[in-house]
Structure 1
Amino acid sequence: MKKASIVIPTMNKLSRLRLILKALESQVDETVEVIVIFDGCSEKVLCDFKKLKLGFETIQIIHSENVGRSKARNSGILKASGEIVIFLDDDRIPCSDFISKHVMSHKNGRFAIVGQRNNVEYPEEVLEQFYLNGLTESDYRRIDGDSIPEPYEPAKKIARLIFGQLIERITFSTGNSSARRQDLIAVNMFDENFTGWGLEDTDLGYRLGKSGVKIKRNFSIVNYHLVHPVNKSQQSSENQKNFEYFLRKIKGDKASIWMAKFLNKLIYR
């Protein structure tokens, strides 16, 4: 059994994906595997990916049609042989000790770990230069200096201290997180009825928490989200549909419903 499996779903973001994989080169050894799930990617992306020269071999899963975030990640979990499954998005540069910190965070207990997300925005030519450089120490210093934490980060930390696991379960996200594979399998992984954008990770965190897994934040595990244009109207519409489905799933848990409604209104008001 491997120590850890990195699960990265992707759809046509090769300039970002290759940079994320380049950042993992110095961290991957024989105890770690990297699984890339191509979710409805173009033939050109698949062809160009084969030309990449990396310091490790990736395990590749190819869905010819886009199956969505839940099913793509589930296929990665089922393929994984690592004790710890680490979720990483294809547009987030991991810090230089990303893997080791995730693994160490699982010592002495049943945990699901969520790291810190900082946002940073660069044009494509800068991403190209980072890739060609191989992400040097000076590159990391630049990225860290140019990045900013997510909005309202101090308020979020205070809220977590007050509400504890109630809010941790409702704010679980999978762009920078990890859990034991056996715990993911035990709760039936991601619910594939969530389609489009949003809430599939909230739902997973909720079910992990209810099963006895403690959701923990480790703010020292940073990854840098490469901001890119999104269709906010479409995201909001898909999120609302998934949110209503999630509320039906947790019917009867009044405290969690209240917290979920409050946060959803705060974010999407």
Structure 2
Amino acid sequence: MRYISNTLIIATYNWPDALELVLLSVKNQSVLPDEIIIADDGSTPETKVIIDRFKNEFSMPLHHVWQEDKGFRKAHILNQAVAKASGDYIVQVDGDCIMHAYFIQDHLEFVKPKTYLFGSRVNIQPAHLNTLFFKKQTQFNVLSKGIKKRTRALHIPFLSTFYKERDTFSSKFRGCNTSYYRSDFIAVNGYNEDITGWGREDSELVLRFHNIGLKARRLRYRGIVFHIYHNEKSRNRFEINDKIEQQTISEKIVWASNGVDKYLG
């Protein structure tokens, strides 16, 4: 595996118990990130307590990038986090996604210029949540209790080699499990901050990746996260966000006019 400086970015909002499990799963990693940034969309001080505790437990820097809570503004806080990142390569998860022990290694082994990666998401069922948090469970496999769509939990590196780069966007893409070159992110001016509220912020970004010629590679059987169940967020701006994405597709837009550049240098 060729070394590349990397930053793990974890997006969170007001769920410190889940964030604790995600940070505990960092400790299990076969390859540790060079740096961790928590992209915090306005959490209360309970989240900061968790982060400050882990700052003393990790060997790598752990930064907390916070913005005032003005509703769902994931695009804004992720732009700020990437702007602060020192790594050449960004690995990105959500703060409710526990990482498989080989998660970071899996992403870094497939780093390739002009390519972004995305992995699988296994859902942890609601009935398992009490056990999950009581035991602080961070390790799962295909036979673990409390998960569904078990085949996604299979970690079989050999089979992942059959999945190749593709020019088109995949409906399997999820922003809670992706990685990309920081320079490619800056080349399209990052997330579009006109997208607020739940929906389309991640897919609209990678559609602009495709519009500048990047390819996508799915890390099937590798790069696995275990998503902790929660109630769905409000979709009151979904139609507005979807129109922005459709414009990106139809006009082959590559640059977010309201993007990351305002936070850079």
Q: TM-score, normalised by structure 2?
A: 0.77
- 2:57 pairs with 1:54: yes
Give the C-alpha shift of residue 11 in structure 1: 0.7
Which residue does the alignment assign to 1:101? Answer: 106
Which residue does the alignment assign to 2:149? Answer: 149
* Aligned 8 A contact 1:117 1:176 in 2: yes
Give the C-alpha shift of residue 143 in structure 1: 7.4
**Residues 171-190 of structure 1 correspond to what in structure 2 (within 5 A)?**
172-190=173-191
Which residue does the alignment assign to 2:257? Answer: none
* Aligned 8 A contact 2:167 2:214 in 1: no
Amino acid paired to 1:117: R
- 2:133 pairs with 1:128: yes
Q: Secondary structure at the match of 2:37?
A: strand
Amino acid paired to 1:115: G
Amino acid paired to 1:140: F
* Aligned 8 A contact 1:19 1:127 in 2: no
**Residues 185-224 of structure 1 correspond to what in structure 2 (within 5 A)?**
185-219=186-220, 220-224=222-226
- 2:83 pairs with 1:73: no
Q: Which runs of 5+ in 1 are unaligned?
A: 151-160, 254-269
Number of aligned residue pairs: give it.
232
Give the C-alpha shift of residue 252 in structure 1: 4.6
* Aligned 8 A contact 1:25 1:54 in 2: no
* Aligned 8 A contact 1:199 1:239 in 2: yes
Stretches of 4+ moved more than 4 A in 1? 28-31, 142-145
Q: TM-score, normalised by structure 1?
A: 0.76
Q: Secondary structure at the match of 1:5?
A: strand
Give the C-alpha shift of residue 240 in structure 1: 1.7
Distance 1:207 1:195, change over 3 A: same
Give the C-alpha shift of residue 26 in structure 1: 3.3
* Aligned 8 A contact 1:190 1:204 in 2: yes
Amino acid paired to 1:64: E
Give the C-alpha shift of residue 80 in structure 1: 0.7
Which residue does the alignment assign to 2:95? Answer: 90
Give the C-alpha shift of residue 120 in structure 1: 1.0
Q: Secondary structure at the match of 2:36?
A: strand
CA distance in structure 2 between the partners assigned to 1:201 and 1:211 by the alignment = 16
Distance 1:49 1:143, change over 3 A: farther
* Aligned 8 A contact 2:32 2:104 in 1: no
What RMSD, in angstroms, separates the aligned Cα atoms of the two structures?
Answer: 2.8
Q: Secondary structure at the match of 2:180?
A: strand
Distance 1:142 1:218, change over 3 A: closer
Which residue does the alignment assign to 1:261? Answer: none
Which residue does the alignment assign to 2:28? Answer: 26
Q: Which runs of 5+ in 2 are unaligned?
A: 151-162, 253-265
CA distance in structure 1 between the partners assigned to 2:117 and 2:21 by the alignment = 23
CA distance in structure 2 between the partners assigned to 1:143 and 1:77 by the alignment = 36
Give the C-alpha shift of residue 145 in structure 1: 5.0
Give the C-alpha shift of residue 149 in structure 1: 3.0
Q: Secondary structure at the match of 2:183?
A: helix
CA distance in structure 1 between the partners assigned to 2:146 and 2:132 by the alignment = 13
CA distance in structure 2 between the partners assigned to 1:143 and 1:23 by the alignment = 19
Which residue does the alignment assign to 1:263? Answer: none
If each structure's helix is expressed as a fraction of its own residues, which one has the higher value?
A: 1
Distance 1:183 1:144, change over 3 A: farther
Give the C-alpha shift of residue 39 in structure 1: 1.4
Amino acid paired to 1:190: Y
Q: Secondary structure at the match of 1:40?
A: coil
Q: Secondary structure at the match of 1:117?
A: strand
